[in-house]
Structure 1
Amino acid sequence: MRTPEQIWEAADLPARRLAGVALNPSSPEDVLLRLLADGPPAVRMVLCRDRVLPDTVVEAVLQHPDTRTRSFFARNPHVDPAQRARLVDDPEWLVRALLADGPKPPFDGVCGPLPDEVVVRMIDTYDDDSLSGTFYRQISTALQLSMPTHPVAKVRRWGIGRWDQLPAEIRAGLLADPDEDVRESARSSAERSAQSKDPAWVERELPDRSCHARWDMLMYQALSRTVVDNVLTAPVAEAERKVIAGNPSLPADVVVLLAADPDPAVRERIAYRADLGPAERRALAVDPDPAVRLAVSVHPELSERERAAIDYEVPLDDSFQAWPGPLVPRDPVHVRRDADSGHPLIRRRAAEDRTLPPDLLERLAADEDLGVRVLLAQYHPDAPAPLLLRSFLEYAGPQRGHLTTRPNFPTAGLAAFADHEDPEVRALAARDPHTAPVTVERLTQDPDPAVRSALARHPNLPRARLTELLDDAELAHAAAANPALDPELIQRLVATVAPSVDRGAGTGR
């Protein structure tokens, strides 16, 4: 089976041109339906995967006889998840498996969860292999929280995965569940949880060679004094002292010992421990290593005055990107306390709260720290336009492009960046409806391919240049997606598509 990349590589110039027509917001429904019915594989792939579709076209996609065509729609991040969810009972395993796997980044925006009832049906009817990988990203927070007590047994089994976070009464109910598989899964989880808290069991089962299982046990499970002493005196591999430094079961005297370890990486790890004593906090606050001082400066037991007395420096080259939030929202009192902190790293924690009230949103939007501003822009649904633009201009790390998908990202005035030295900033001119035609045309010859492609789709591109680009091997795809493309030309391009033969359900697989 050809990959999407191979399908695109195999597409000739006419096919790429038609793929642009498939993306063109001015293409009428009859054109999209013709491309869906008769277009070559690359065209159907782009049409079904890379745009929002009218309802009539969605209906045609769902009934399309070609498996790959339906499978592309199953991973479309732009459509309503409820539309993709209608493939839940597709006759082909490939379509169902890709629906479960979900859209793959990078894509514009954040893909929402599938409807709860569809997720429940998938858990209840799909095999476990189909629900591995990234399926969990498509489950709503409400359903994740309700899983341990859900009326469907297989869903309750999924809820057991959070065993240690479940209340005692819910764990007891699962251990006595009427479903045998649920009971067995609960018993296994309870046993594993008990074992991980039993130092004798950990000591007995700890692998004597460096491997993932050994490192996992050293980091998270209860360690006996014998295991700790062995790591301190005769570690199996380098860095094991650093590994155990974060283990919650570490004895107090070993915490004190490792707080003075000659390896700064060990001291840095120790500095984050909540059980770090006052004497150790004071010593690490003046540690010669800046990373250690930074680590201890965010310790929860420090007062704001004590934090301010530490000579720390907050890095500005971190990755400021959005991640899924916690299942249980943070206490608003704690969020406000963090927002009021004088420490940038603590304010950054507050900036990641999607429910930040308006007064804190306004205050943090003007924060002096780049990380606070960018995280706020990445996370908050009401991040204001000036903050979004400023963050895009000042931040060049991962998920920079995600900022342009936020609801309030501006369009007006972006033509002013047409000559910016950063190509990603120059490309913003493609978003400004008032960018001058002469500027648009010039940027279709920009040294950067992404800038050329973005401006080839601008409706202000002079018609002569637009027509010229339709025969350009690189930019024909983008030019054909230009909403200013002559409707008659769109119809002539589509008229070149050969009528389709009966594809059959397995074609293209």
Structure 2
Amino acid sequence: MVRLKEPQLSGLGQNPAAPIDALVRLAAHEAGRHGLELRKGQLPNQVVEALLTYGGSDSAVLLNGTRVSPTMRCRIAEHPDPAIRDARADFIRTMVEREVRLGGIEDLVEAYGRPPTELAATSDPKLRAMVARTWRERPIAVQLALLTDPDPEVRAAATQDKHPGVPPEYYERCLADPVVRANIARHIPLTPEQFDRLLATGEETVLHAVAGNPHLTVDMVARLQDSADPSVRVAVAYSRHVTPETRDRLLALVEAEDAAGSDDAAVALRWSPYTPSWLRDAPLAERLAYLDCPHTMFRKVLATGRDLPAEAWQRLDDDPDVSVRRAAAHRPDTPPHILLRLIRAHGERSHVRPLLVDHPNFPRQELRGLVDEPNPRTRLLALKDPELPVAELRRFGDSAEAFLRAGAARHPNVGADLLERLLMDPDPHVVEDAAANPVLPRARMDRIIADAGL
């Protein structure tokens, strides 16, 4: 990656305080262009022009939407070089050909210059399938045409998501179609006859889809209890139609298979898509009965509620499983000491938003106290304090962990001497973050650019 070779230039291209003339000069270097293309917000017109000059079609692919002004969008659309003029459209068409899912129907409309209804009826089946994947608010007439499309990939794409769904009068047709039956078997109410036919297919994907269907009756759930598939047994155990004794038995079987080394059982227990989501909508009294449930998933779903009494929250805040405690801590009125206790004991889960440290009740005055925590991931959170003293930041700058040094490099209170040292760090990610810090002096920006011969 370019930024690993020239991280100062890449970081400077992302620096929100870098002046326009510096950004224009950076566009002449591959690493500078890399940073500019990652830069947040709309790019100044002069910078876009420089990117087109030096980056050509490679840069033009990323210059679209709110990244560029209307003036520059017109400039690109009318550019004398067809490679630049057509770069974005060619990229979108390549993604369609390779069946790489795009963000939205707007990309297709821009690339093909046709409205969505025309794209849905195009002769290219790959394009029709991409319309089905990206046009989420399509009219029912378009959906019906896609459901009956002669190409199986188009039909599969039209039923891949729960919405816009399948009208009841098309249930039988779709259930008879091998390429879409699993997709819709997850969502629609099934008659006993349809349920029997789906099980008779013997297809694992169909069986898993049926097992997670929220509309199954008591009899249907009972039919699935003796399945040899551990994922199905977990799905049944999470159903509202089984007794606690049956639930315990089914999960104990899967746990025993997991202990014996079964990969299928391990997947079913740890990465199952099934949850007792019905519990969220159950009456409060029914939900509270699961406070003592021995199975973590039920207590975790219970903790996502917002109307539990104080005694229930106290129990969930002290739950033996940290995932339950984390779920409970996301409620609006979590006490500050509960949030701090969780952070100190277990740190954050960076992929879960919002972060606990960003909770309105989190005692932000305690952030500075995290600098002495033994867990480096917990220490990192001290950098959330925008006024963290330079002396503490130097401790982060001396850390063995590169992610802690990078955190210091991004901090608004970093001192000039420390920032200079981090600009020369052996880890390129730290260097890039230091160069992207808006407190970097203008003179130092100029020196970085001059040293690169720009």
TM superposition score normalised by structure 1: 0.55
Matches within 5 A, 1:451-466: 451-466=404-419
Q: Is the 8 A contact 2:371 2:380 kept in 1?
A: yes
How far apart, in 2, do the equivalents of 1:467 and 1:286 lie? 60
Task: Say if 1:304 and 1:427 are closer, same or farther in 2 by CA, change over 3 A.
Answer: closer
Q: Is the 8 A contact 1:373 1:387 kept in 2?
A: no
**CA-based RMSD:** 5.6
Task: Say if 1:228 and 1:477 are closer, same or farther in 2 by CA, change over 3 A.
Answer: closer
**Structure 1 residue 497: deviation in Å?**
4.1
Give 1 or 2: higher helix fraction.
2
Q: Is the 8 A contact 1:271 1:299 kept in 2?
A: no
Q: Is the 8 A contact 2:211 2:236 kept in 1?
A: yes
What SS does structure 2 have at the residue aligned with 1:289? helix
How far apart, in 2, do the equivalents of 1:386 and 1:93 lie? 57
Q: Is the 8 A contact 1:298 1:343 kept in 2?
A: no
2:408 aligned with 1:444: no
Moved more, 383-392 or 62-71: 383-392
How far apart, in 2, do the equivalents of 1:153 and 1:200 lie? 23
Look up the match of 2:38: 49
Look up the match of 1:491: 446
Look up the match of 2:301: 345
**Structure 1 residue 131: deviation in Å?**
10
What SS does structure 1 have at the residue aligned with 2:149? helix
Query: What's the CA shift string for 1:345-373, capped at 9, x where partnerless?
Result: 1452x57xxxxxxx99x999998353435
Counterpart among 165, 168, 171 of residue 197 in structure 1 = 171
Code of the residue aligned with 1:488 in structure 2: it is: A
**Structure 1 residue 45: deviation in Å?**
0.7
Query: What's the CA shift string for 1:347-405, capped at 9, x where partnerless?
Result: 52x57xxxxxxx99x9999983534356568xxxx999999878766564461476399
Look up the match of 1:479: 434
Query: What's the CA shift string for 1:216-273, capped at 9, x where partnerless?
Result: 5876786657646746xxx576x97655434579786443333466876534323555
Look up the match of 2:235: 269
Q: Is the 8 A contact 2:185 2:213 kept in 1?
A: yes
How far apart, in 1, do the equivalents of 2:312 and 2:24 lie? 48
What SS does structure 1 have at the residue aligned with 2:13? helix
**Structure 1 residue 489: deviation in Å?**
2.8
Task: Say if 1:220 and 1:184 are closer, same or farther in 2 by CA, change over 3 A.
Answer: closer
Task: Say if 1:272 and 1:307 are closer, same or farther in 2 by CA, change over 3 A.
Answer: same
2:222 aligned with 1:256: yes
Look up the match of 2:269: none
2:8 aligned with 1:17: yes
Q: Is the 8 A contact 2:60 2:88 kept in 1?
A: yes
Code of the residue aligned with 2:235 in structure 1: it is: R
Q: Is the 8 A contact 1:71 1:95 kept in 2?
A: yes
How far apart, in 2, do the equivalents of 1:448 and 1:252 lie? 54
2:60 aligned with 1:70: yes
Unaligned runs of 5+ in 1: 101-125, 141-149, 176-181, 207-211, 317-341, 352-358, 500-509
Residue-pair matches, total: 383
How far apart, in 2, do the equivalents of 1:127 and 1:490 lie? 38
Counterpart among 345, 348, 355 of residue 403 in structure 1 = 355
Task: Say if 1:250 and 1:496 are closer, same or farther in 2 by CA, change over 3 A.
Answer: closer
Tell me the percent identity: 20
Q: Is the 8 A contact 2:330 2:359 kept in 1?
A: no
**Structure 1 residue 302: deviation in Å?**
5.9
How far apart, in 2, do the equivalents of 1:80 and 1:364 lie? 48
Query: What's the CA shift string for 1:23-59, capped at 9, x where partnerless?
Result: 33442222222222x3x20111112213346645555
How far apart, in 1, do the equivalents of 2:368 and 2:403 lie? 16
Task: Say if 1:487 and 1:419 are closer, same or farther in 2 by CA, change over 3 A.
Answer: same
**Structure 1 residue 450: deviation in Å?**
0.8
2:11 aligned with 1:8: no
Code of the residue aligned with 2:149 in structure 1: it is: S
Code of the residue aligned with 1:315 in structure 2: it is: T
Q: Is the 8 A contact 2:37 2:62 kept in 1?
A: yes
**Structure 1 residue 161: deviation in Å?**
4.5
Code of the residue aligned with 1:491 in structure 2: it is: D
Counterpart among 116, 129, 141 of residue 96 in structure 2 = 129
What SS does structure 1 have at the residue aligned with 2:355? helix
**Structure 1 residue 451: deviation in Å?**
0.7
Q: Is the 8 A contact 2:347 2:378 kept in 1?
A: no
Look up the match of 1:245: 211
Matches within 5 A, 1:119-268: 129=96, 133-136=100-103, 153-154=117-118, 161=132, 171=140, 174=141, 184-185=145-146, 187-188=148-149, 197-198=171-172, 202=176, 224=194, 227=197, 230=200, 235=202, 244-246=210-212, 253-259=219-225, 265-268=231-234
Task: Say if 1:161 and 1:430 are closer, same or farther in 2 by CA, change over 3 A.
Answer: same
**Structure 1 residue 96: deviation in Å?**
4.0
How far apart, in 1, do the equivalents of 2:53 and 2:335 lie? 42
Code of the residue aligned with 2:433 in structure 1: it is: A
**Structure 1 residue 471: deviation in Å?**
3.5
Q: Is the 8 A contact 1:298 1:345 kept in 2?
A: no
2:378 aligned with 1:425: yes
Code of the residue aligned with 2:34 in structure 1: it is: M
What SS does structure 1 have at the residue aligned with 2:372? coil
Matches within 5 A, 1:308-347: 308-309=288-289, 311-313=292-294, 315=296, 344-346=300-302
**Structure 1 residue 445: deviation in Å?**
1.7
**Structure 1 residue 448: deviation in Å?**
0.8
Q: Is the 8 A contact 1:415 1:434 kept in 2?
A: no
Q: Is the 8 A contact 1:344 1:372 kept in 2?
A: yes
How far apart, in 1, do the equivalents of 2:326 and 2:68 lie? 32
